[in-house]
Amino acid sequence: MCGIAGVWNFRKKPVDRTRLRRMTDSLSHRGPDAEGFHFDDRLGIGLGHRRLSIIDLTEQANQPMCDAAGELWIVFNGEIYNYVELREELGAKGQVFRTQSDTEVILAAYREHGMDFLGRLRGMFAMALFDTRRPRLILARDRIGKKPLYFARSGDAFLFASEPKAILASGLIGRSPDFEGLAQYLTLGFAAPPRTGFREIRKLPPAGVMTIEANGESGVHTYWSLNFHEKEPHTTDEWEEIVRHEIREAVRLRLRSDVPLGVFLSGGIDSSAVAALAADQTNRLRTFTVGFRETEWDERRYARIVAERLGTDHHELVVEPKPLEILPAVLNHYEDPIADASVIPTLYVAKIARPEVTVVLNGDGGDEIFGGYRGYQVFHAAQWLRRVPGSALLGHLAPLVPDAPRGSLPSRVKRVLELAGDAHRMTLERYSAGTMQPEDAAALLGPAWPDSTLQPAWEILEAAADASRPLRGVDRLLHQNLTVGLPGGLMVKMDRASMAHSLEARSPLLDHVLVERLARMPHNLKLHGLTTKYVLKRALRGLVPDVILRRSKMGFGVPLGAWFRGELRPLLERRLGEGRLIAGGVLARAPVCGLIREHVEGRADHWPKLWTLLFLELWWRTWVEQERIETLMDQAPAPHRGIEATNPSGNP
């Protein structure tokens, strides 16, 4: 797990050493153990690397790494979990190895198989491989999009890095906001590839390969896609056995580590399954949980049940509403903005894990591959109602149901009626990432926001809905979540939060072999009636306590609704209600202040929209205007050690 950066000057001008070092210095949190550089002034290339040592801790495994012939160079972020098997296979074909690292296996796979090498890798990765023989630069990301990769052009220079902050640190790229990317943020909760929050910076999509030639020409294609159409005709009992086997294998591969390892344990089904199968294959396991004083958001007691059953070394932390402690870390590490407020507890659980371990496994992806979200039940109920004659009229009943907190029974009934009455919304409502519909966002924008940005943002979901239309049942939602919501939201959240603390996070349930196999499972074995994760729950009987398998779904969220009426109210009113975006006409004063007033007075529950807008305000002032975070926090004292990060503005 590492941070990578590089510059290629197409006119073969030597790369500025100081510039590249500034880029890698900004990624020091991703790789505190070692740094390295490779410069080839003859070809105008410079590669930089910050290392977090996980596999083969020797100096010989440091990067940038070249092959034995000195013709191929690589900087790589991630882990190749099947590197042991690939090493044996490639060694039998004559490839020679000088280290025990997975990085060298990638070089050998490319030399042996050319551009087909990516299909042989089982893991998470973002890499830049420079082939001096052409010369050609190859950028690639893993299939699911766990590891990030950004790029930009400045004249005859091409730049890439693990995070936008490194590209900005080069001094070659401007900070102008990309309003279309920010429109995607408002409606989806993130800027979808290739967009970011910055006009001049782009990101490679999941399963993306970008080739850049010496004359500056480039092209992007994807090397993998998920097939939900072909199903395997197994019995339910057979699928239970397949699920147990595939998850166990995915966990086994992710236990390969030369440093201490643990598990994020939320008390839900997914992380409990990973913890149970990890504890079964390794010595005394460390587990980590965060919770809240607000009982309706707190899962600690369920995590304790699992930890006691497995006999793990268990660690807990209660998260309090302390914006001066956590918001600087959020702003520092999410410069490609994301509206998911669960970044807050994720940063905290990474904080408590890092003193104990360097690698953690988690349960990410279980909802997306097994059908675990409450919204899937809503979708299924709406599909059933649409079979009733006159169902289109049901949408007119929805306004009669009073507004209620999200996730409550009245809220779900209201959504079922809305979706049943509007087939188009059935395909789109679920995957808006919990922020707002285009018409809601449009009502909040001021005159300084460019026209015609919201519809292109929504068209991303339109395209995903069209691609999934031939699929049956919950497979439609799973396909769209795996291709849009998961890589844009959950993967970004986990990568930044874990790497902020120099912690490697591994997601066994998003192993691409497991994901491919489950795509071939019939949809009614994932959502069976209104029972979510049907086969998974059956497969885990005897491995996970029954109380965990029976409990209702609880999302990994934050009680921001209560916090915005309490400890965070001054921050909300001062920084958003009197903020720079309203003053500059980017946001409209009356509707935004109306949302704040209705929420703090308890007349409505607007916290998802308010968090989205507040973070946009703070992000803009930090990353576009380069205002010091300490100023935004009213000259607050520095955050606690462990979530503190370097100042992104670069100001003294």
CA distance 251 to 275: 9
Of 442, 473, 504, the last residue of a domain is 473
**Residue 195 is assigned to a structural domain of this protein:** yes
C-alpha pair distances (Å), 125 with each of 144, 275, 295, 428, 498:
10, 23, 38, 30, 15
Q: Are residues 392 and 357 in the same domain?
A: no
Rama region for 454: left / alpha / beta (φ>0; ψ in -120 to 50; rest): alpha
Of 192, 222, 252, the last residue of a domain is 222
**Residue 231 is assigned to a structural domain of this protein:** no
Q: Are residues 378 and 456 in the same domain?
A: yes
Q: Are residues 166 and 68 in the same domain?
A: yes
Q: What is the CATH number of the domain that holds 335?
A: 3.40.50.620
Q: Are residues 334 and 378 in the same domain?
A: no
Whole-number pLDDT of residue 336: 96
The answer to whether 35 and 24 are in contact (CB under 8 A) is yes
Give the global pTM: 0.92
**Residue 478 is assigned to a structural domain of this protein:** no
Q: What is the CATH number of the domain that holds 18?
A: 3.60.20.10
> Which structural domain, as residue segments, surrounds residue 443?
374-473
Q: Are residues 499 and 360 in the same domain?
A: yes
> For residue 255, what are its two tokens?
């236990």
What does the mean pLDDT of the chain come to? Answer: 89
When pLDDT is cut at 50, 70 and 90, the band that residue 643 belongs to is very low
Of 499, 530, 550, the last residue of a domain is 550
User: Scanning the structure block, which residue is given the tokens 């999410």?
Assistant: 334
**Residue 427 is assigned to a structural domain of this protein:** yes
CA distance 580 to 582: 6
Does residue 240 surpass a pLDDT of 50?
A: yes
Q: Are residues 378 and 355 in the same domain?
A: no
| Amino acid at site 596 | I
When pLDDT is cut at 50, 70 and 90, the band that residue 422 belongs to is low
C-alpha pair distances (Å), 387 with each of 398, 426, 501:
18, 14, 51
When pLDDT is cut at 50, 70 and 90, the band that residue 631 belongs to is confident
Of the candidates 282, 280, 302, the one whose C-alpha atom is nearest the C-alpha of residue 291 is 302
Q: Are residues 269 and 291 in the same domain?
A: yes
State how many domains the chain has.
4
CA distance 613 to 435: 10
> For residue 598, what are its two tokens?
């209705």
Share above pLDDT 70 across residues of the chain, in percent, rounded to a whole number: 91
**Residue 555 is assigned to a structural domain of this protein:** no
Mean pLDDT computed over 209-228: 96
Catalytic residues: 2
When mean pLDDT is compared over 92-101, 394-403, 468-477, the highest value belongs to: 92-101
Q: Which residues pair with 152 in a beta bridge?
A: 159
SS3 content of the chain, % helix, strand, coil (to 5): 45, 15, 40
Q: Are residues 98 and 208 in the same domain?
A: yes
**Residue 647 is assigned to a structural domain of this protein:** no
The answer to whether 125 and 80 are in contact (CB under 8 A) is yes
Q: Are residues 182 and 153 in the same domain?
A: yes
User: pLDDT tens-digit profile of 322-344?
Assistant: 767 888 999 999 999 999 999 99
CA distance 65 to 99: 11
Q: Are residues 606 and 510 in the same domain?
A: no
CA distance 365 to 369: 6
Q: Are residues 522 and 571 in the same domain?
A: no
Q: Are residues 165 and 241 in the same domain?
A: no
Of the candidates 197, 125, 191, 554, the one whose C-alpha atom is nearest the C-alpha of residue 342 is 554
When pLDDT is cut at 50, 70 and 90, the band that residue 464 belongs to is confident
**Residue 227 is assigned to a structural domain of this protein:** no
Does residue 401 surpass a pLDDT of 80?
A: no
Top-confidence residue, 412 or 645: 412
**Residue 642 is assigned to a structural domain of this protein:** no
> For residue 154, what are its two tokens?
């400045």
Q: Which distant-in-sequence residues (6+ apart) come within 8 Å of 245 by Cβ?
A: none
